[in-house]
Amino acid sequence: MTQGFDTLQVHAGTAPDPATGARQVPIYQTTAYVFRDADHAARLFGLQEVGYIYSRLTNPTVSALANRIAALEGGVGAVCCSSGHAAQIMALFPLMGPGLNIVASTRLYGGTITQFSQTFKRFGWSARFVDFDDEAAVAAAIDDDTRAVFCESISNPGGYVTDLPAIAAIAGKAGIPLIVDNTLASPYLCRPIEHGATLVVHSTTKYLTGNGTVTGGAIVDAGTFDWSASGKFPSLSAPEPAYHGLKFHEALGGMAFTFHSIAIGLRDLGMTMNPQAAHYTLMGIETLSLRMEKHVANAKVVAEWLEKDPRVDYVTYAGLSSSPWNARVEKICPKGAGALFTFAVKGGYEACVKLVDALQLFSHVANLGDTRSLVIHSASTTHRQLTPEQQQAAGAAPNVVRLSIGIETVEDLIADLDQALTAATA
């Protein structure tokens, strides 16, 4: 029987602890696991049996979280790791190699742009940044060395909504996977796999955990991509020397990517999520739908108020009827356009800095997706390392402030913004 989202967010991936009957998932704070006998150990190490060996690879608490996120996203499997940035590396690791490239949206979190444009060079990988509203440009950027297309469902910091079915069609025609960062939407607002995504990545630090306590990342596999069709993905289709010539896709089918990410990705990169972080995130997910409804409702009210304020030049929230991305919301995010957006303050850079300093209820932090409302001036912080042209393309121009709207009483949020705007534009 197919279960509803609210049921899955509480129950998926978990059951009472078989040893004690504990209803909440225990924190399995252990490094290693006792094997039944030598044959059991050999079968685990040979990928002939699923089980626990060492917590760098798998841990029962972390596995429960991975299974829950996979269920919420509609994937066949998931892998959890130490951060959202780790999830991006883990997602690309089986696909890439020296001389290969990805095609990525210009509208990405500043840290992601830096990771893709600078750090990836050390691996011999490269990224081509394209405006994903220009579908012809996306298709033209793909060549024989392209191994993935990457975008955000709702982009950070502007809150733009990507036309996922259109981008998925382009990637599909080229025979390469579409990877979608679904952090800002969460699976409650958007399920990219239903729109053609191959892999979905998350910074679980944000809305999934929802309380600003722990960092984490996740990669969810749709289980539908044919890794053996083109010969472009030998890590998944060719014999793997470390496992006596095992061909992951041939042997494991739709679970090939998930098992490869554990057996090789976590084994060798070591970007492991700790069990306590998984526990906090499991508890956070139990209220995901309730929180997201409040986040979205508050964001819409605040955005509409800001749009009418004469001290504000413009607001980028896709949930506004005036937004050029508003028509996509119903198709891509039918339950709402998220709760992160920017607005431009009259007075430019200096006025933005004054506004941030004057806010009292909003917390000035480098995070988003918290129950608390958060603010940051992206051009001087999260997107500081980008060129002015890159900042503009990413939606982080010097005259804009990014808001992550929380679940407080919305009148209190508006009152705080009102007094801060007065201070900033006096």
Contact 157, 396 (CB under 8 A): yes
- Find the length of the chain: 426
CA–CA dist 90, 216 (Å, integer)? 13
As a three-state string, the secondary structure of 72-98 is HHCCCEEEEECCHHHHHHHHHCCCCCC
CA–CA dist 210, 276 (Å, integer)? 15
What's the CATH code, domain 288-425?
Answer: 3.90.1150.10
- pTM for the full predicted model: 0.95
What is the chain's Cα-based Rg? 22
Sheet (strand 340-345) strand order: 312-315, 340-345, 400-404, 374-376, 363-364
Spell out the domain ranges in the chain. 9-95+177-284, 288-425
**Predicted local confidence at residue 383, as pLDDT:** 67
| Structure tokens given for 378 | 């992206």
**Predicted local confidence at residue 396, as pLDDT:** 76
Helix (H/G/I), strand (E/B), else coil: 424: helix
**Predicted local confidence at residue 225, as pLDDT:** 98
CA–CA dist 338, 228 (Å, integer)? 36
**Minimal CA–CA distance to 147: which of 88, 180, 113, 100?**
100
Q: Which residues contact 273 (CB under 8 A, 6 or more apart)?
A: 62, 65, 80, 81, 82, 216, 217
Fold designation for 9-95+177-284:
Aspartate Aminotransferase; domain 2 (3.40.640)
CA–CA dist 408, 299 (Å, integer)? 11
CA–CA dist 81, 341 (Å, integer)? 27
- The angle, 0 to 180 degrees and rounded to 10, between the axes of the packed helices 84-92 and 110-117 is 40
**Predicted local confidence at residue 2, as pLDDT:** 84
**Predicted local confidence at residue 389, as pLDDT:** 78
Contact 9, 289 (CB under 8 A): yes
| Structure tokens given for 12 | 């998926």
**Predicted local confidence at residue 87, as pLDDT:** 98
Please report which helix (H) or strand (E) contains residue 140, including its range. Answer: helix 135-141
CA–CA dist 238, 342 (Å, integer)? 46
In tens digits, what is the pLDDT along the chain, a chain of 426 residues? 689 999 999 999 998 988 899 999 999 999 999 999 999 999 999 898 999 999 999 999 999 999 999 999 999 999 999 999 999 999 999 999 999 999 999 999 989 999 999 999 999 999 999 999 999 999 999 999 999 999 999 999 889 999 999 999 999 999 999 999 999 999 999 999 999 999 999 999 999 999 999 999 999 999 999 999 999 999 999 999 999 999 999 999 999 999 999 999 999 999 999 999 999 999 999 999 999 999 999 999 999 999 999 999 999 999 999 999 999 999 999 999 999 999 999 998 899 999 999 999 999 999 999 999 999 998 777 667 777 777 777 677 888 999 999 999 999 999 999 999 999 998
